[in-house]
Structure 1
Amino acid sequence: MKRTLAHAFAAATCAAALGLGLSGTATAGPVPVPVTGPEAPAAEWAPKPPTRLHLTVTDSAGVEKDVFLGCRPNGGNHPKADLACDALHDSAGDFDKLKGELRSCTQQYDPVTAKAEGTFNDTPVSWTKTFGNACEMEAATAPVFVF
């Protein structure tokens, strides 16, 4: 008897669904299928992963200056954290693509090495570059390495 009632209920439900679909009073579009994997569109509302970096500048005498930079939320002890985070996000975290600032620098050779270690949007970062002098470094990396 349970089987008969279950079949009757299923048949009535299917008939009702077909009736609604044919009557035109209620139409349902295709059921969206969630897309997953690398082809999935990025959700703009999803929170972005944080950026946490230890930045150092070492001069030719071996004197090292360092700061910590956090983005999302912006902070750390970097003196221009908001500007530095904006510059990093504009370059998609690629330190070689930072816009820097237009400057005229002397040809004096006094090398400095800039280094970044940590994460950018949860992606590991390990970047080091030596510049001819501090002016050249700032011209290429400002405001990230201006501290």
Structure 2
Amino acid sequence: MRFVKIAALATAALLATSATASAAPVSSARALFLIQLTVTGGWSRTVSLNCDPDGGAHPKPVASCALLTAVEGDLWRYLGQQGICTREYQPHTAALTGWWAGRTVHFQRIFANRCEMLLATGSVFDL
């Protein structure tokens, strides 16, 4: 259900962006994402991320856009980083939906804890 809400918000944001930016040419690399992070039993946060130019409400737009550019907007293609995490169990649900180079992209995955999430997704969900 949360993913449906995110998809609806992303669609609305994309329509609003295209309506206001229709006078200016849009490059094929331009991207817009809505990113939601939910901690089970804790909090939930949703932010926007724009790439080309990098910006939005995301706290690390430059690093996140660089990572998404490297995987052509498909976070499933990111191989992650090596590292050691504690065995703490505090599930983090990470969801990304948006638009990249003319196509819709989606990513949603549940991680055992924040450390595992950050190793797997870099700065994209470092909210």
8 Å Cα contact 1:59/1:112 also seen in 2 = yes
1:70 and 2:50 equivalent? yes
Among 48, 55, 58, which residue is 2:28 paired with?
48
**Residue in structure 1 matched with residue 70 of structure 2 by the alignment:** 90
Q: Give the CA RMSD over aligned residues.
A: 1.7
**How much does 1:99 deviate?**
4.4
1:116 and 2:96 equivalent? yes
**How much does 1:92 deviate?**
1.4
**How much does 1:104 deviate?**
1.5
Q: Greater relative contact order: 1 or 2 (C-alpha under 8 angstroms, separation 6 or more)?
A: 2
Among 46, 61, 72, which residue is 1:81 paired with?
61
- CA offset digits 1:45-97 (Å, max 9, x no partner): x9324110000110111521121100011110111111100100101112122
State the SS of the aligned residue for 2:66.
Answer: helix
Q: Is the radius of gyration larger for structure 1 or structure 2?
A: 1
1:125 and 2:125 equivalent? no
Q: TM-score, normalised by structure 2?
A: 0.73
**How much does 1:102 deviate?**
3.4
Q: Which runs of 5+ in 1 are unaligned?
A: 1-45
8 Å Cα contact 1:50/1:121 also seen in 2 = yes
8 Å Cα contact 2:76/2:107 also seen in 1 = no
Q: TM-score, normalised by structure 1?
A: 0.63
**Residue in structure 2 matched with residue 103 of structure 1 by the alignment:** 83
What are the residue-to-residue correspondences of 1:129-144 with 2, within 5 Å?
129-144=109-124
1:58 and 2:7 equivalent? no
Structure 1 vs Structure 2: percent identity of aligned residues? 32
